[in-house]
Amino acid sequence: MPEQTAYTPTGRTVPTRSRERASYDRAVVHSILDAAYVCHLGFIRDGAPVVLPTLYARVGEHLYVHGSTGSRPLRMAGQGDPGLAVCVTVTHVDGLVLARSAFHHSINYRSVVVQGIAHPVTDPEEKRVSLDALVDHVVPGRSADSRPANAKELASTAVLRLDLAEVSAKCRAGGPGDEPEDLGLPHWTGVVPVRQAYGALVPADDLADGIAVPEYLARFPGPDSS
C-alpha cells in the first residue's frame, strides 16, 4: 500500500482556532520537522505539565529524542510498560507581523505538534541509527566525522521513539490582516522577517594545528541560510 500523503486528523489534532492554518500534509510536516533540531517535549510529572527543550531527529515516520538514562522523562518512559504520554512541539518563527491595530499583530511561524506515547528504544541497531540521526540532524555529515559512542556511552544514553501518527502542522505567512476601517491609519505596517543565522566557526581552544574545517562545515548550513 502506498504511503498516504496526509496524517488523519483526530479530535486532538484539530485546532479550535484558526483551522485554516492547520495542515496534515505529510510533506509539510516533514519539512518543518527536518528544518529544526530543538523541540519542546511535554510530559506529565506528579500530575503537572513539564516542558523541556531537547534535541530530536526524524527517521521516516518516527521521531527520536535522547538524553541521559538519569533524566526524568527518559527514566519515566522506561519504567512503565505503556511508555510515556508526550507532546513534541517544533516551532520556527519566520516574521513579526505589524498591523495597524494592536489586535491584529501576529507572528509568521511554522509549527508541528506530535502527540503520542514515547517508548524507549531497546534494539541496539535502532539505537545506533537514531543516535547517528540525532547528530546528523543538527549538522549533516557529522556522525561519520566523530568518534562513535562506546559501550559505556551507549549504556548511559537513553533514546525515546515516538511514532508520527497524531500530527498536525500550523503555519501563518504573509502580511497583516487589518480591518477595512483601519486601512487609512497613519501607522507603518508590514513584516519584519526573522530567521536562524549561523556565525563564523569558533575552533575549540585545544584544536590541534593542521586540522582543516571539513567540507560539510565550510558550507554549513547552506548558501541561503547564513
Could you say which residues in the range 50-109 bind its own copies, by CB under 8 A?
A: 50-53, 55, 67-68, 70-72, 75, 85-89, 91, 93, 95-96, 98-103, 105, 107, 109
Distance CA 30, CA 166 (A): 13
| 191 closest CA partner among 89, 93, 70 | 93
Output the nine-digit C-alpha cell for 221.
548550513
User: Residue 213, interface with its own copies (CB under 8 A)?
Assistant: yes
Output the nine-digit C-alpha cell for 151.
559501550
Distance CA 30, CA 68 (A): 26
Here's the x/- map for its own copies, 190-209, by CB under 8 A: it reads as: xxxxxxxxxxxxxxxxxxx-
User: Residue 35, interface with its own copies (CB under 8 A)?
Assistant: no
User: Residue 40, interface with its own copies (CB under 8 A)?
Assistant: yes
User: Residue 22, interface with its own copies (CB under 8 A)?
Assistant: no
Closer to its own copies by CB, 5 or 150: give it: 150
β-pairing, 106-120 vs 166-172, is: antiparallel
CB atoms under 10 Å from CB of 97, counted, come to: 21
Output the nine-digit C-alpha cell for 153.
556511552
User: Residue 223, interface with its own copies (CB under 8 A)?
Assistant: no
Query: What's the distance, CA 35 to chain centroid?
Result: 7
Q: Which residues, numbered 171-190, are part of the site for its own copies (CB under 8 A)?
A: 175-176, 182-190
Burial class (CB in 10 A: 0-12, 13-18, 19+), 113: buried
Here's the x/- map for its own copies, 103-142, by CB under 8 A: it reads as: x-x-x-x-x-x-x---------------xx--x--xx--x
Closer to its own copies by CB, 1 or 211: give it: 211
How many residues make contact with its own copies (CB under 8 A)? 97
Residues 7, 40: contact at Cβ < 8 Å? no
The least distance separating its own copies from the CB of residue 3, rounded to whole angstroms, comes to: 26
H/E stretch holding 140: none
Per CB under 8 A, the segment of 2-10, 23-31, 119-127, 214-222 that binds its own copies is 214-222
H/E stretch holding 133: helix 124-138
Closer to its own copies by CB, 3 or 224: give it: 224
Of the candidate residues 77, 121, 143, 158, the single one contacting its own copies (CB under 8 A): 143
